[in-house]
Amino acid sequence: MTTKSSAPVLELRGISKAFTGVQALNGVSLKLYPGEVHTLMGQNGAGKSTLIKVLTGVYTPDHGQILLAGQAIQPQSTLDAQNHGISTVYQEVNLCPNLSVAENIFIGRYPRKFGRIDWASMAKQASELLERMQIRIDVTLPLAHYPLAIQQMVAISRSLLVSAKVLILDEPTSSLDEKEVDLLFSVLRGLREQGMAILFVTHFLDQTYAISDRITVMRNGEREGEYLASDLSRVELVNKMVGAPAATEATAASAQTAAAGDGTATGSATAAGALGSASAGRLQSFLRAVGLGRRGALQPMDLEIREGEMLGLAGLLGSGRTEAARLLFGADKSDSGTISIDGKERNLSSPRDAIAAGIGFCSEDRKHEGAILDLSVRENLILALQARSGILRAIPLKRQQQLAEEYVKALGIKTASIETPIGSLSGGNQQKVLLARWLVTDPKLLILDEPTRGIDVRAKQEIMDYVTALCKKGMSILFISSELPEVLRVSDRIVVMRDRKAGGEYARGALDETSVLQVIAAGDQHE
Ligand SMILES: Nc1ncnc2c1ncn2[C@@H]1O[C@H](COP(=O)(O)OP(=O)(O)O)[C@@H](O)[C@H]1O
Ligand SMILES: [Mg+2]
């Protein structure tokens, strides 16, 4: 924080933006001052990117004003915004990989001499711009020659060339490693010293505290508040992100009360909450992942799922829970670690492998990955089973009908018939069909990613009762939910995720709603 002039360089006033069915932004205001890093913080889906897109002319706001140095502007495109001095760097660098670094920096504004492009001057200026960020590379090589971190620096130096006053970075660190993040942050600090106003968008706690002067917290499309980073504790920040009541003391006593109130609590619910060995050995291990990770998605973590156990993954939206699930299911490829099933190492490099190994994955993305809306309940229901037996071995229609009728009954699915298109069912009933889709494959491990999001309370209860009963019969479940009370209530053990890594493992009853938020907020220094 250097010289803080009293006038904001950029101001957003009461910005609202709706998409069909979603109020993505609701009356959001924000002031950005020169010479500061202002972090826009919020869980996935909070509305951060939409705000940036309004600010950079990608979307037109429904309401509200954008003021640049006190003057109202209406950016029509990113280029228009850039001409106003507002530059944006996205995670996916938007440059031309086969052109040289220098050409990328100068695209659209090549220096000319006697009507010709002045290559020598261009290379010299490009080198100088990069040098302002302590980066010394050969600018005549193609951009693709350099790692993503350098490519981002090139994108940033382009914004220096157009003498940006405002630099916006939307989740720029998602695929950078730690060293690269450090490099980026030191560049940002340098630019801050030079008086640039920087709007840094992230949902990671550690990064927020590493770089921010000021923090604006967003939740559900609204501005929750604006704080000086030095005034806002990590626990307060997490509470504001999830909208929990102000943290009361999460005492050992409250944790113990929770444990005592639950007959099934293991004896290991210590004051510190860390998992003891009491429950280990009680159940046999089904799946064990060691050092499982994927660059940019999940830092290497260990995970054990036991037979007949419900393992909860708790954490903020975007903390790495779905990423971990996708690696276990082979939906994404891991780049580190091993997975063993029943003690034997297995290569789960596709969902097909995972299904063959007895794993099912009921995904949170009902609309895109799950329900095929114009297929019938029956057809949706037998998809996973059909995939497992191979397309050449069609399941006889009689069998399909039998299974569909059976599960419609067992799960209380409300549908006119098993031939009704799933699209005409309510969300809760669609979700039950998707659950049934995996249950008919008789999985040994079922991954449930937000199985109860956006469905009515009754369907929610029915789904949870059903899977809990299956668990008692020996099925393992990996349960991911943003509803903390639900995770805490149903899970035998809980792994808390934060900033795309595992932040600790806890027995049932060891955590309550307040203490789990404290674990999420704890940060690396506590490990
Ligand atoms: N183009 C779009 N069409 C419909 N809904 C959208 C669109 N873009 C974003 N949304 C919705 O708006 C909300 C905010 O999204 P976004 O701004 O991307 O959040 P964040 O960047 O904080 O993760 C989410 O509910 C998202 O699904
Ligand atoms: Mg975003």
Domains and CATH numbers, the chain: 10-242 (3.40.50.300), 273-358+443-502 (3.40.50.300), 365-442 (no CATH)
pLDDT at 386: 85
Residue 327, both tokens: 């690696």
Ligand 1 binding pocket includes 174 (Cβ within 6 Å) = no
Which one of the ligands is nearest to 50 CA?
Answer: 1
pLDDT at 279: 45
Ligand 1 binding pocket includes 42 (Cβ within 6 Å) = yes
Q: Contact 190/133 with Cβ under 8 angstroms? A: yes
The predicted model scores a pTM of: 0.78
Ligand 1 binding pocket includes 46 (Cβ within 6 Å) = yes
pLDDT at 4: 52
Bridge partner residues of 480 (DSSP): 313, 449
Which residues of the chain, if any, have pLDDT below 70? 1-5, 91-93, 244-282, 365-369, 391, 524-527
pLDDT tens for each residue of 222-266: 999 999 999 999 999 999 999 865 444 443 334 433 333 333 333
Ligand 1 binding pocket includes 318 (Cβ within 6 Å) = no
CA of 17 to the centre of ligand 1 (A): 10
CA of 24 to the centre of ligand 1 (A): 6
Residue 258, both tokens: 């929770």
As a whole number of angstroms, the distance between CA 233 and CA 225 comes to: 14
Identify the residue whose C-alpha is closest to ligand 1 atom 6. 19
Give the residue among 452, 458, 523 at the shortest CA–CA distance from 485.
Answer: 452
What is the secondary structure of 272-319 as a DSSP string? T----SSSBTTB-EEEEEEEEEETTTEEEEEEEEETT-EEEEE--TTS
Instruction: For ligand 1, pick from 12, 15, 17, 19 the residue to mutate: most ligand atoms within 8 Å of CB.
Output: 19
pLDDT at 365: 67
pLDDT at 204: 92
Identify the residue whose C-alpha is closest to ligand 1 atom 2. 19
CA of 19 to the centre of ligand 1 (A): 8
Strand order in the sheet with 298-306: 298-306, 285-294, 336-341, 344-346
Ligand 1 binding pocket includes 48 (Cβ within 6 Å) = yes
Q: Contact 151/145 with Cβ under 8 angstroms? A: no
Ion ligand 2: residues, CB within 5 A, are: 48-49
Which one of the ligands is nearest to 219 CA?
Answer: 1
Identify the residue whose C-alpha is closest to ligand 1 atom 17. 47
pLDDT at 246: 47
Strand order in the sheet with 63-68: 22-32, 10-19, 63-68, 71-73
pLDDT at 111: 84
